[in-house]
Amino acid sequence: MADSSRLCSVFLGSETGILKGAFNFCNTQHLSRDQEVRVLVWGDRAETDLLLGARDGSVKTFSLEKGSFTETGAVETRKREALLGWRSWRRGGWCSRCLHVMVFQVFQVWRESSSDPVAEVITGKNVSRMRQNPAQRNKMATGGKENGLKIWDLENPKNPPVFSAKNLKDDWLDLKRAQWVRDIAFIPQSEKVVTCTGYHQVHIHDPSSPQRRPVMEMEFGDHPLTALSLPTGGTSVVVGNTRGEVAVLDLRKGLVRGVLKGLCGGVRALQCHPSLPIVASCGLDRFLRIHSLEDRKLQHKVYLKRASPEAHWLRRGSPEAHWLRRASPEAHWLRRGEGSVDVDPPV
Mean pLDDT of the chain: 75
Q: What is the pLDDT of residues 141-176, one digit of tens each?
A: 999 999 999 999 888 878 899 999 999 999 899 899
What is the number of other CB atoms lying within 10 angstroms of the CB of residue 344? 8
The residue ranking higher by pLDDT, 322 or 127, is 127
CA atoms of 336 and 253, how far apart (whole Å): 31
- Walk across the sheet containing 147-153 and list its strands: 127-132, 139-144, 147-153, 163-164
Q: Where are the domains of the chain?
A: 76-164, 166-315
- DSSP string over 58-101: EEEEEETTTTEEEEEEE----TTEEEEEEEE-STTSEEEEEEEE
By residue count, the chain amounts to 347
Rounded Cα–Cα distance for residues 3 and 25 (Å): 12
CA dihedral of residues 163, 169, 174, 177 (deg, nearest 10): -70
| The predicted structure's pLDDT at residue 98 | 45
- Name the 3-class secondary structure at 241: strand
* pLDDT at residue 128 is higher than 80: yes
- Residue 5 φ/ψ, nearest 5 degrees: -65, -25
More confident residue, 323 or 70: 70
Of 40-54, 87-101, 182-196, the poorest mean pLDDT is in: 87-101
* pLDDT at residue 323 greater than cutoff 80: no
CA distance 115 to 332: 45
pLDDT at 342 over 60: no
Opening angle at CA 197, ends 192 and 200, nearest 5? 115
**In this predicted model, what pLDDT tens digit does every residue of 3-40 receive, in sequence order?**
555 555 566 676 666 676 645 556 666 667 777 777 77
Q: What percent of the chain has pLDDT over 90?
A: 32
Strand order through the sheet with 310-313: 19-20, 10-13, 310-313
Which of 68-72, 107-111, 117-121, 180-184 tops mean pLDDT?
180-184
Assess whether pLDDT exceeds 80 at residue 204: yes
Among the ranges given (103-117, 122-136, 236-250), the one the predictor scored with the smallest mean pLDDT: 103-117
Q: pLDDT digit string (tens) for 56-92?
A: 777 778 787 777 777 776 665 554 455 555 565 554 4
Provide the pLDDT for residue 315: 46
Q: How far apart are CA 296 and CA 265, in angstroms?
A: 18
The predicted pLDDT at position 291 comes to 93
Lowest average pLDDT, out of 85-89, 227-231, 329-333, goes to 329-333
By three-state DSSP, how is residue 208 classified? coil
pLDDT for position 339? 32
Higher per-residue pLDDT: 112 or 186: 186
- pLDDT on residue 40: 75
b/e string for 78-106 if b means 16 or more Cβ within 10 A? eeebbbbbbbbbeeeebbbbbbbbeeebb
- pLDDT reported for residue 197: 96
Q: Give the CA radius of gyration of the chain.
A: 20
CA distance 20 to 11: 6
- Per-residue confidence (pLDDT) for residue 114, from 0 to 100: 64
pLDDT band for position 310 (cuts 50, 70, 90): low
Instruction: Decide: residue 128, CB within 10 A, 0-12 exposed, 13-18 middle, 19+ buried.
Output: buried
Residue 203, pLDDT above cutoff 60: yes
> Class for domain 166-315, per CATH?
mainly beta
DSSP three-state, residue 2: helix
pLDDT of residue 324: 34
pLDDT on residue 208: 93
State yes or no: pLDDT of 294 exceeds 50. yes
